[in-house]
Amino acid sequence: MAGSDPTASRSDLEAALIDVLFTQSPVGLHLLDSDLHVVRFNTATALARSVPPEDILGRAFTETYGLVEPDEIEALVRGVLANGVPAIDRIVRLRPQAAPEREHRFAVSVFRLQNDQGTVLGLAAAVVDVTERERARERLNLLASARDSVGRTLDVGVTCQELADTVVPDFADTAVVEVVDSAVRGDEPPLAPLSADTPLRRAAFRSCVPDAPQAHPVGHTRGVPGPTPYTEALSDLRPRVVRLGDDLPWLAADPIRARAIHASGAHTLLITPMTLRGAVLGLISLYRVGHADPYDEDDIGLALDLANHTALCIDNARRYTREHTIATALEPRLLPDRALPRTALEAAGMPLPSEGTVGWYDTIALPGARTALVVGEIAGQGIHVTAAAGQLRTVVRTLAAFDLAPDELLARLDDTATLLAAERAALPPGDPLHHEALAATCAYTIYDPLSLTCAAASAGHPAFAVTLPDGTTWAPDIPPGPHLGAVDRTPFAANTFEIPEDSVLVIASPSTVGAPPVDPRLLQSPPAGAAQPVEELRDDIVSTQLAADSGPRSAAVLLARTRGFPAECVASWQFDADLTAAATARHHVRAQLAVWNVDEETAFNTELIVSELVTNAVRHGNPPMELRLIHDRTLTCEVRDASPAAPHLRHAGTVDEGGRGLFIVAQLAQVWGTRYAADGKTIWTEQALT
């Protein structure tokens, strides 16, 4: 053991310390004179050992280690020499003479040296290799940036371009992202290994190389020729680093890509497949050119993290695309195939672009030449919302067949919406639909061309507007009702208003997102004359509303131009409750059907129907009593009396003398039913006309 000298002077200790620091310390110490020449340096560091001593001593500090930016370093050290302010942990880049192919990072601290009199003697520079630390920090920053920037939308192409923009130029000089074409369309991605004929779509490209050549433009779809590293990565799903050069035989399998690689000057390629649960979503190809460090095995981990994050984002976008495609295909099923012709009504509707809602409308033929106009919407987007809207539309059509009043129909529709809301609430907590409350609205209107009236009720804030033939515009007073399925079970209220011939009625879906009702003034700018087709008027009104309102709006709109029913196609008779009423009714019916040229079979059946209905009214009804025939696209028979008693269809027994009336009616008529009003009921039938 070496002995110690307790009497050693301070100067001896300082000299020994300096000698140890310059021969054994892991920190690269450098002593510079006032001309910035190296006077002494630490010979123990790997950096110093990589350079011959004669190439360091006596030479300028900025000329010793292959600095990438020597001018900046010289400005730094001269600044410290001039002002005396130390520079601490400044990161500098250099390429050591022993390994110039890779760039290293060093933290440099520079201090000014001066004596007791303040005379500047030179500089001391401490150099520490922080290459791995800086690379790790850059990888973490890049991965954090990718997680923040990639996947902000549910668009596959945008997601891929976000990845390319993130990695260039910090991690790659050129980036190409290709996606399995079926995944772009929303289909399930194929499982590995990927066959050679599976088409890949070039979804994104980014390069910091001026006028960088592309093998194929963005959007181009084709299979990947093989065997190449690209096809190998798509088969074994393993990333790989590939050194590029002129003598690579696999480049001949893909000459178009080979020409682009040679033209760009790329020297290294990092290929990473994008996979999720064994399925292949695409391929990421990263290139480095020029003086950039070649990729190595340490870069594969970062590339895998980027690929996994992007694959998850693409799969989310793919699933959204699939659901959106299905919902878009289903939504037209919520609308009538076409506007069915009506003798006394022209109708045209349109779903409106509305974020977060699905709108629907319908026109339903009712007995007595009447038409039901329905407009509704439901909050949300996607397959489940579209399906729920389809369920509500089906229920409305089913209830309309019972000829219910608007307020009663909405009350029964509300029961269905409450049931659908309960089904959502009963879903498992992990189901996204469990947390989405059902919010739906509906406006239901019945137009009667014989009385020129509309009866309407609304679930939600009503959105009605009427333009009269003289151009006057007003909004009917329709009481607002609660949303369908709402906790508030306030009864629905209906209102009836007159609407003259050649008026235009606009009904917008009561909004679930707080949109204002249709402004009646919007109807004043487009002409509402009888000559303008209702489809053109609808387009004008919709365009005006979309241009005037950038906030939330209704999701559907329905227009109807009203017409009166031809007087010669309606016949009615009052009759008394006596035994001759049925015979008198048959006589009137026979004569009227002859005027209308109704065929003999239909006329005979109509006489039987009228006879039974009138007889039933005489026996069980109350005066006043009325018989009405309506000659439209079908033949309608209506018998009205003041009794609220409901008739029932039943099968009479073999020995029964009565009870067959409604059974005969049901056999002869295409459809029949009962409509109730405050002053009684109406039993009606419809027959097809040949």
pLDDT for 440-459, tens place per residue?
899 999 999 999 999 999 99
Radius of gyration of the chain (CA): 43
Percent pLDDT > 90 in the chain is: 21
Res. 549 pLDDT band, cuts 50 70 90: low
Least confident stretch, 4-18, 35-49, 530-544, 611-625? 4-18
Per-residue pLDDT at 64 exceeds 90: no
Which two three-digit tokens encode residue 464? 């009605």
Least confident stretch, 170-184, 489-503, 619-633, 648-662? 648-662
Residue 439 has φ and ψ, to the nearest 5°, of -125, 115
Specify the pLDDT at position 44. 66
Most confident listed range (15-29, 152-166, 220-234, 539-553): 152-166
Alpha-carbon distance values, 532 to 352, 466, 502, 535, 567 (Å): 21, 16, 11, 8, 25
Most confident listed range (54-58, 70-74, 565-569): 565-569
Strand partners, 474: 466
Burial (CB count <10 Å: 0-12, 13-18, 19+), residue 408: middle
Specify the pLDDT at position 406. 94
Res. 515 pLDDT band, cuts 50 70 90: low
Specify the pLDDT at position 513. 54
Per-residue pLDDT at 204 exceeds 90: yes
Res. 657 pLDDT band, cuts 50 70 90: very low
Quick: pLDDT tens for 372-412.
999 988 888 777 777 888 888 889 999 998 889 999 999 99
Q: Of 446, 448, 394, 444, whose CA–CA distance to 420 is shortest?
A: 394
> In this structure, which topology does domain 15-129 adopt according to CATH?
Beta-Lactamase (3.30.450)
Res. 1 pLDDT band, cuts 50 70 90: very low
Selecting from 1.10.580.10, 3.40.50.1100, 3.60.40.10, 3.40.50.720, what CATH number does the domain 336-562 have? 3.60.40.10
Per-residue pLDDT at 607 exceeds 50: yes
Quick: pLDDT tens for 270-281.
999 999 888 899
Domain range annotation of the chain: 15-129, 135-325, 336-562, 567-688
Specify the pLDDT at position 432. 66
Which two three-digit tokens encode residue 390? 């389809």
Burial pattern 185-205, b for ≥16 Cβ within 10 A else e, equals ebeebbeeebeeebebbbbbb
For residues 74-93, average pLDDT: 85
How far is it, in rounded angstroms, from Cα 249 to Cα 239? Answer: 20
Specify the pLDDT at position 84. 85
Rounded to the nearest 10 degrees, the angle between the axes of helix 131-149 and helix 297-330 is: 0
Neighbours of 481 (CB within 10 A): 27
Per-residue pLDDT at 9 exceeds 70: no
Q: Of 43, 123, 36, whose CA–CA distance to 87 is shortest?
A: 123
Q: Beta-strand (E) ranges in 85-189?
A: 87-94, 104-114, 120-129, 174-180
Residue that wins the pLDDT comparison between 184 and 6: 184
Which two three-digit tokens encode residue 44? 């123990």
Strand partners, 114: 120
Contact 259, 169 (CB under 8 A): no
Specify the pLDDT at position 623. 87
Q: Beta-strand (E) ranges in 424-538?
A: 440-448, 453-459, 464-467, 473-474, 480-481, 494-498, 504-508
Instruction: Render 53-113 in DSSP notation, one character per residue.
Output: GGGTTTSBGGGSS-BSSHHHHHHHHHHHHHH---EEEEEEEE--TT-TTS-EEEEEEEEEE
Burial pattern 272-283, b for ≥16 Cβ within 10 A else e, equals bbbbbeebbbbb
Contact 31, 40 (CB under 8 A): yes
Percent pLDDT > 70 in the chain is: 84
Specify the pLDDT at position 326. 65
How far is it, in rounded angstroms, from Cα 485 to Cα 488? Answer: 8
Q: Of 380, 473, 481, whose CA–CA distance to 433 is shortest?
A: 380
Specify the pLDDT at position 106. 83
CATH number of 567-688: 3.30.565.10
Specify the pLDDT at position 334. 59
How far is it, in rounded angstroms, from Cα 399 to Cα 377? Answer: 18
How far is it, in rounded angstroms, from Cα 443 to Cα 517? Answer: 12
Which two three-digit tokens encode residue 610? 């009228």
Selecting from 3.40.50.970, 3.40.50.10210, 3.30.930.10, 3.30.450.40, what CATH number does the domain 135-325 have? 3.30.450.40
Q: Do domains 15-129 and 135-325 have the same CATH topology?
A: yes
Contact 354, 552 (CB under 8 A): yes
Per-residue pLDDT at 227 exceeds 90: no
For residues 340-349, average pLDDT: 76
Q: Of 294, 367, 402, 353, whose CA–CA distance to 553 is shortest?
A: 353
Specify the pLDDT at position 31. 83
Specify the pLDDT at position 226. 77
Specify the pLDDT at position 310. 93
Per-residue pLDDT at 155 exceeds 60: yes
For residues 44-57, average pLDDT: 69
For residues 586-605, average pLDDT: 91
Least confident stretch, 239-248, 297-306, 364-373, 596-605? 239-248
Q: In the chain, count H helices and then E strands.
A: 15, 27
Specify the pLDDT at position 290. 84
Least confident stretch, 242-256, 513-527, 570-584? 513-527
Strand partners, 223: none
Res. 244 pLDDT band, cuts 50 70 90: confident
How far is it, in rounded angstroms, from Cα 604 to Cα 645? Answer: 28
- In the numeric block, the tokens 């709402």 are attached to 486
Residue that wins the pLDDT comparison between 400 and 7: 400
Per-residue pLDDT at 175 exceeds 90: yes
For residues 340-365, average pLDDT: 79
Residues 6 or more apart whose CB falls under 8 angstroms from that of 14 comprise none
Strand 464-467 vs strand 504-508: parallel, antiparallel, or unpaired? Answer: antiparallel
Specify the pLDDT at position 528. 47
Specify the pLDDT at position 545. 62
Specify the pLDDT at position 467. 85
Specify the pLDDT at position 554. 67
How far is it, in rounded angstroms, from Cα 304 to Cα 275? Answer: 10
Specify the pLDDT at position 4. 53
The distance from CA 218 to its chain's CA centroid, rounded to whole angstroms, is 23
Per-residue pLDDT at 243 exceeds 70: yes
Residues 6 or more apart whose CB falls under 8 angstroms from that of 66 comprise 94, 95, 96, 97, 100
- pLDDT averaged over the chain? 82
Specify the pLDDT at position 311. 92
Specify the pLDDT at position 165. 94
For residues 465-476, average pLDDT: 85
Residue that wins the pLDDT comparison between 586 and 71: 586
Instruction: Render 323-369 in DSSP notation, one character per residue.
Output: HHHHHHHHGGGGS-SS---BTTEEEEEEEPP-TTEEEEEEEEEETTT
Q: Model's pTM, two decimal places?
A: 0.59
Specify the pLDDT at position 444. 95
For residues 429-441, average pLDDT: 76
